[in-house]
Chains A and B, each alone.
Chain A
């Protein structure tokens, strides 16, 4: 058991190292660099910048060094907690991200909780009452949820939110709280806004997990071990929870990391549409401006979240299923 966990941890570390290389290559992929895009911008503003000036800038930022040196320079800093400097914002990357990362995390985890809190009970209900009206309604809603693109759902909810509930369009705060200090009232205001992106980001996942739960449970519910347990005299509800539902949690848990990936990769676009003050819009902007260290740090953070999600799902699976646990012990 411990050895198995150790193995997972080691492979996670290796994976993170690989991810950092890929992240670095990714931000280098688009043609040109920050100096070019800076010059372009200035040129559009009518200011003429000579080639020498661009080269000088490149030299100052260290962009003329070989790639691998730039990488080790960067990753060395990251390991020491220094994510580099954002040229666009003229501030350290950690400062720029820091103030927004909390919101991103809050959004991602609220969405995860929303997804499972809704999907599991509905999936169980649909399986137990297969072909009931409730099941048909949920199935229909599920397909609609799966088929609706996030940006569309965002626009619909924005409209509904402002027309019916008088919410200020988009954002995570009402204007009076936008720049205020954190307080209970501000937190409450955030929750009142947070549900919109949570619903947008969570709907497809909820629909998918609900279908997974329903299908797996329908499969399990007629298995021999369930009938054998019923023959012992256990009550129907306890039977359901202890035997088939517990079994049906396996595929749900093993897609946890993947679900988190979906949420995180979907978040920037949704954040942009809803103009949320989290890392999403920042990320897109950093990519467009080739603000290398900012974009790199963001990709790295997103990847770390996904890797951690996968690790958590692996560990949960180990805890849930004795077959896997004992396999590893041998």
Chain B
């Protein structure tokens, strides 16, 4: 296996009072070392659940019921099926923060208010590296400096509420980088931030990716950011990957009607006067999934007796470009 991550046929079920439903269904994607994969889709389509499952951080009511998540350690070359690990066991804990790190959407609440930033980053350093408390603190200060936090040696001893939102997200990135991970999962790292700060954070992540040579899974709503950072893109809808391919496949050769709608809904610099088209209708609820293709009630190319009956097969458009739609069956 050359890829650092291969997710195949992943299914995640939710047990709720109303019964059991799938939240994620037949999700597959691959990621090569040092590359960036973007997961894109409307709110509630399962991006965060997919991301959390890679570190086995799912809440108790969500369970991986099928498929595999193969991770190849770049150091040893060993391949682990993360989907088979015990979610509270030591095997997954050795991966967390060490080989695979994660940053979250809300920098304001991703640190405990009760401990200094230095304490919380130093904790990860000490968990995975044989260093003393003092060395961990020095490493932490170095990391904070690297992610652009001014006066890093004093900032180590500050509490999260003394940091601004942007600074906290930088600290979060520093924490994620602390053990030189091979894979970084970034779940909407910029959504909660001001536009100007968003750009800075994206830029910082790109610089650091070069330097640390890590693969990144970048989750976002923002197709502009996708165009800027991603090598490959997965378009998700209602818990399924409906189209995936290289960036240029998606931006220039989009096949799935949903992908096309998303691209139409994207504001483009230069033609701001062009009217923005919102996609009609809403994402279906987990407990009233449409039969057949899950997008058919909102689809412009809806074909009666086909789309609402059968789930479409995967069609290979070109080498890496795959779409799941009856138009191409």
Contacts and interface: CB of A to CB of B under 8 A. Distances in A.
B108 to A, nearest CB: 9
B128 interface: yes
B114 interface: yes
Most buried by B among A232, A242, A246, A247: A232
Contacts of A326: 159, 161-162
Given A224-B110, A225-B112, A232 B175 contact: yes
Nearest to B60: A130
B109 A224 contact: yes
B109 to A, nearest CB: 4
A323 B104 contact: no
Contacts of B281: none
Interface stretch (A19-27, A46-54, A233-241): A233-241
B124 A232 contact: yes
B155 to A, nearest CB: 15
A243 interface: yes
B96 A233 contact: yes
B140 interface: no
A323 B111 CA distance: 13
Contact of A229 (B112, B113, B116, B162): B112
B27 interface: no
Contacts of B104: 224, 227-228
A183 interface: no
B277 interface: no
A230 B124 contact: no
Nearest to B175: A232
A44 interface: no
Contacts of A8: none
Interface string B26-61: 000000000000000000000000001001010100
Contacts of B128: 233
B139 to A, nearest CB: 14
A228 B104 CA distance: 7
B192 to A, nearest CB: 11
B93 interface: yes
B101 A223 contact: no
Contacts of B220: none
B94 A233 contact: yes
Given A231-B55, A233-B98, A223 B120 contact: no
Interface string A207-228: 0000000000000001111011
A83 B220 CA distance: 73
Most buried by B among A227, A231, A242: A231
B123 interface: yes
Contacts of A247: 112, 114
A225 B114 CA distance: 11
A80 interface: no
A320 to B, nearest CB: 8
Interface in B108-160: 109-116, 120, 123-124, 127-128, 159
A15 to B, nearest CB: 29
A321 B96 CA distance: 28
Contact of B110 (A225, A233, A242, A321): A225
A232 B162 CA distance: 22
B252 interface: no
B161 A323 contact: yes
A228 B162 contact: no
A322 interface: yes
B114 A246 contact: yes
Interface in A272-330: 320-323, 326
Nearest to B185: A231
Contacts of B188: none
Contacts of A228: 102, 104, 110-111, 172
A233 B97 contact: yes
Nearest to A225: B112
B127 A232 contact: yes
B61 to A, nearest CB: 11
A108 B99 CA distance: 53
Contact of B88 (A231, A236, A242): A236
A322 B159 contact: yes
Contact of A227 (B57, B88, B94, B115): B57
Contacts of B113: 225, 321-323
Nearest to B105: A224
Interface in A243-262: 243, 246-247
Interface of A: 222-225, 227-236, 242-243, 246-247, 320-323, 326
24 contacts: A224-B104, A224-B106, A225-B109, A225-B112, A227-B52, A227-B104, A228-B111, A229-B112, A230-B96, A232-B124, A232-B127, A232-B175, A233-B93, A233-B97, A234-B123, A234-B124, A235-B93, A242-B115, A247-B112, A320-B114, A321-B114, A322-B114, A322-B115, A323-B113
Per CB-CB distance, the 3 closest pairs between chain A and chain B, nearest first, are: A232-B97, A233-B96, A232-B124
Given A224-B104, A236-B88, A322-B116, 19 more contacts: A224-B109, A225-B112, A227-B52, A228-B110, A228-B172, A230-B96, A231-B96, A231-B101, A231-B102, A232-B96, A233-B95, A234-B93, A234-B123, A246-B112, A246-B114, A322-B113, A323-B113, A323-B161, A326-B162
